[in-house]
């Protein structure tokens, strides 16, 4: 058996050591009972929203396409339960934005749409078409349509496929469980992409604090000299795309560039495993695994839930709250998005639902000029200076100082002893720059 790399080949600048809090790491995702109703927004990815293909009163089955778009950067939406369409119209997402949505009342039997079938895939175009029809987006949280990521411009030469199993955010463990519980699906997806896209080398990158995942993956990948399982040092944000490319290959993605610019494609481990299952069954993305955890959650769990399940139903299934939460978050505590409405649904890109007590949050004080934010920034930015420029709305200087390079990882805010919400200033500054450009 070949020897695998023990650690990453390069060390990124900055980063922080976050608390582990992987409370559900030993919990295989259990399937949640079918909810009485699901709400399926027509905007579930980065890109153009879909147009509903059904009307109120229509009967639908699991896997039936209910929304689609002609736009390149978009993926179809499929019914996640079988039942009757109760409503087609505006729905409000967790972040407050509004889009068209389809509400389905479930009949409980989860009957599959009879036209589903495994796609025939023998070449790249057939693979890209199948991936699009599956409805899959990046399941690690980014929500970028996977078929777009895999359609590499002809002038780019890809020599390395990086499967992202770092899962560096605290609390979230669904990727860890994917590696342990579905390792054969992971490798099946890897070999399919490797063969059809003609990528010579694959690296499955896992942080070294996940020994079970590493063992499971090495057990089935160990005899292939073109597939490595690489143990990354545990430091946040190790799983960020640019950071991951550098850790694995030593190559730096240029500002404003993509991994393809340095010969790499980065894809989440759950996305790879889903592609393998879709190619075998033809069943599109209608459910996903999520971690439900946090100091205000009574019974933390990993759950498999239908897309469109309301957050209130998920919280109830986990025993409710121990006390009124101060904040509820989609995603991890570092890069997650705060939620104000428990009637909002789980969407394709949501990998976690976390709830925290008030004691978990810092009180904001004046900056003490300690420089910890700058030392922690993986992109070598000066967060406190950028905060000042954002407050002054000096867009020219913000641009010159590289605010658009910020990946909103949260290392600056995490490191700040004064509790200043620096990431929010970075987001506001980038929005001001976009508006100025328009």
Q: What is the full DSSP assignment across 343-373? A: TSBP-TT--EEEEE-GGGSPPP-------HH
Residue 406 Ramachandran class (φ > 0 left, ψ -120 to 50 alpha, else beta): beta
Residue 60 lies in a domain: no
Residues with Cβ within 8 Å of 196's Cβ and at least 6 positions away in sequence, in order, are: 121, 123, 124, 127
Based on the domain organization, do 276 and 377 belong to the same domain?
no
Rounded (5°) CA angle 179-185-190? 90
Residue that finishes a domain, picked among 281, 315, 346: 281
Residue 218 lies in a domain: yes
Residues with Cβ within 8 Å of 109's Cβ and at least 6 positions away in sequence, in order, are: 82
Alpha-carbon gap, residue 438 to 288, rounded angstroms: 37
- Taking the model in full, what pTM does it have? 0.93
Alpha-carbon gap, residue 297 to 289, rounded angstroms: 17
Residue 295 lies in a domain: no
Residue 209 lies in a domain: yes
pLDDT at 9: 66
| Cβ proximity of 35 and 83 under 8 Å | no
Residue 7 lies in a domain: no
Residue that finishes a domain, picked among 216, 250, 281: 281
pLDDT tens, the chain, 438 aa long: 344 444 566 677 789 999 999 999 999 999 999 999 999 999 998 889 999 999 999 999 999 999 999 999 999 999 999 999 999 999 988 777 899 999 999 998 999 999 999 999 999 999 999 999 999 999 988 889 999 999 999 999 999 999 999 999 999 999 999 999 999 999 999 999 999 999 999 999 999 999 999 999 999 887 778 899 999 999 999 999 999 999 999 999 988 899 999 999 999 999 999 999 999 999 999 999 999 999 999 999 999 999 999 999 999 999 999 999 999 999 999 999 888 889 999 999 999 999 999 888 888 999 999 999 999 999 999 999 999 999 999 999 999 999 999 999 999 999 999 999 999 999 999 999 999 887
Based on the domain organization, do 259 and 129 belong to the same domain?
yes
Residue 161 lies in a domain: yes
Based on the domain organization, do 266 and 395 belong to the same domain?
no
Based on the domain organization, do 133 and 277 belong to the same domain?
yes
* Residue 171 CB-half CA count within 13 A: 24
Which CATH number covers residue 157? 3.40.50.11540
Residue 324 CB neighbour total at 10 angstroms: 9
* Alpha helices per DSSP H over 231-381: 241-249, 269-281, 311-317, 372-376
Residue 428 lies in a domain: yes
Based on the domain organization, do 243 and 384 belong to the same domain?
no
pLDDT at 10: 67
Based on the domain organization, do 142 and 271 belong to the same domain?
yes
Number of domains in the chain: 2
Based on the domain organization, do 277 and 376 belong to the same domain?
no
pLDDT at 1: 35
Q: Is 210 exposed, middle or buried (0-12, 13-18, 19+ CB in 10 A)?
A: buried
Residues present in the chain in total = 438
Residue 25 lies in a domain: no
- Domain encompassing residue 392: 372-437
Residue that finishes a domain, picked among 221, 250, 281: 281
Based on the domain organization, do 138 and 268 belong to the same domain?
yes
């Amino acid at each position: 058996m070949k020897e695998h790399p023990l650690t990453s080949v390069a060390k990124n600048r900055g980063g922080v050591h976050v608390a582990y809090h992987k409370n559900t790491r030993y919990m295989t995702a259990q399937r949640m009972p079918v909810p009485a109703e699901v709400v399926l927004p027509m905007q579930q990815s980065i890109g153009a929203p879909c147009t509903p293909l059904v009307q109120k009163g229509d009967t639908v089955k699991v896997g039936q396409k209910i929304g689609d778009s002609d736009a390149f950067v978009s993926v179809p939406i499929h019914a996640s339960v079988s039942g009757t369409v109760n409503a087609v119209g505006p729905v409000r997402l967790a972040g407050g934005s509004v889009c068209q949505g389809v509400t389905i009342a479930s009949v409980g039997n989860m009957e599959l749409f009879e036209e589903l079938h495994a796609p025939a895939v023998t070449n790249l175009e057939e693979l890209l078409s199948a991936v699009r029809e599956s409805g899959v987006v990046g399941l690690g949280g980014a929500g970028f349509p996977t078929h777009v990521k895999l359609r590499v411009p002809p002038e780019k030469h890809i020599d390395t496929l990086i499967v992202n199993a770092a899962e560096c955010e605290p609390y979230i463990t669904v990727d860890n469980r994917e590696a342990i519980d579905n390792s054969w699906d992971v490798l099946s997806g890897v070999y399919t992409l490797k063969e059809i896209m003609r990528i010579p080398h694959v690296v499955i990158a896992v942080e070294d604090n996940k020994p079970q995942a590493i063992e499971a993956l090495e057990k089935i990948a160990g005899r292939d000299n073109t597939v490595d399982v690489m143990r990354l040092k545990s430091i946040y944000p190790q799983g960020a795309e640019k950071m991951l490319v550098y850790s694995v290959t030593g190559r730096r993605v240029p500002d404003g560039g993509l991994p393809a610019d340095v010969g790499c494609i980065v894809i989440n481990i759950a996305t790879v495993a889903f592609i393998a299952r879709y190619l075998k069954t033809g069943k599109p993305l209608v459910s996903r695994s999520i971690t439900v955890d946090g100091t205000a959650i009574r019974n933390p769990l990993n759950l498999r839930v239908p897309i469109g399940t309301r957050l209130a139903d998920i919280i109830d299934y986990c025993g409710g709250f121990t006390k009124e939460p101060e904040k509820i978050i989609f995603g991890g505590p570092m890069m997650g998005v705060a939620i104000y409405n428990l009637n909002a649904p789980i969407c394709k890109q949501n990998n976690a639902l976390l709830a925290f007590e008030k004691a978990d949050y810092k009180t904001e004080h004046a900056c003490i000029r300690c420089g910890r934010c700058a030392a922690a920034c993986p992109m070598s930015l000066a967060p406190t200076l950028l905060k000042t420029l954002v407050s002054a709305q000096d867009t020219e200087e913000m641009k010159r100082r590289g605010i658009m390079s910020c990946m909103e990882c949260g290392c600056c805010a995490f490191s700040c002893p004064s509790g200043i919400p620096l990431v929010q200033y970075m987001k506001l500054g980038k929005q001001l720059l976009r508006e100025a450009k328009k």
